[in-house]
Amino acid sequence: MDLLTPDLGLLFWQVVVFLGLFLILRAFAWKPITESLNERENNIQSALDLAEKTRLEMTALKADNEKLLAQARSEREAILRGAKETADKMMADTREKAESEGKRILEQARESMQNERQALVMQMKKEVVTLSLDIAEKVLRKELSDKSAQEKLVTDLVSNSRLN
């Protein structure tokens, strides 16, 4: 068996064994292995794609959320502003009303006081008249108890009242 001349027997066995090995491995090893590898790679790729898609969706969702939030915020502000305006207006209205009511009540009080005073003055006047008449009557009665005095008075009165 020389080094450089191929041996017939070994050639034969090498062809048979190598081809047999190739066919067996192709059917039972390489096919399932490469298929599984491809399948796994596809799975990984699709998972990555899905993650990317989800990420994009999340970004879109976030943008939507932010928009909604901004909208809600502006709405809230509008509502708050409106409420404040209403409250201010109500307060102003109430103050105005209260002021006018107070004024009206004061006026009324002043009027009734006036009336009372007038009535009081009238009453007093009446009382004063009666009292002075009583006094006058009493004085007169006393003054005119004697005859001379009566005559003197009449004389005085006549002298004072100049008949012109």
Q: How many helices (H) and strands (E) does the chain have?
A: 3, 0
Using CB under 8 A, count the residues that bind other proteins. Answer: 34
Residue 44 binds other proteins (CB under 8 A): no
Tracing tokens 């109500």 back to the chain, one arrives at 90
CB of 47 to other proteins, least distance (A): 11
Task: Name which of 29 and 120 has its Cβ closer to other proteins.
Answer: 29
Name the segment binding other proteins (CB under 8 A); options: 8-16, 102-110, 122-130, 148-156.
8-16
Angle at 54 (CA atoms; ends 52, 58), nearest 5 degrees: 115
Tracing tokens 């002075």 back to the chain, one arrives at 132
Max Cα separation, the chain?
204
Amino acid in position 120: L
Residue 31 binds other proteins (CB under 8 A): yes
Residue 33 binds other proteins (CB under 8 A): yes
Residue 45 binds other proteins (CB under 8 A): no
Residue 40 binds other proteins (CB under 8 A): yes
Q: What is the DSSP string of 85-97?
A: HHHHHHHHHHHHH
- Single out the residue of 2, 141, 161, 162 in contact with other proteins (rule: CB under 8 A): 2
Please count the CA atoms within 13 angstroms of the CA of 138 that sit on its side-chain side.
5
Residue 10 binds other proteins (CB under 8 A): yes
**Three-class SS of residue 6?**
coil
Residues that bind other proteins (CB under 8 A): 1-15, 17-18, 20-22, 24-26, 28-34, 36-37, 40, 43
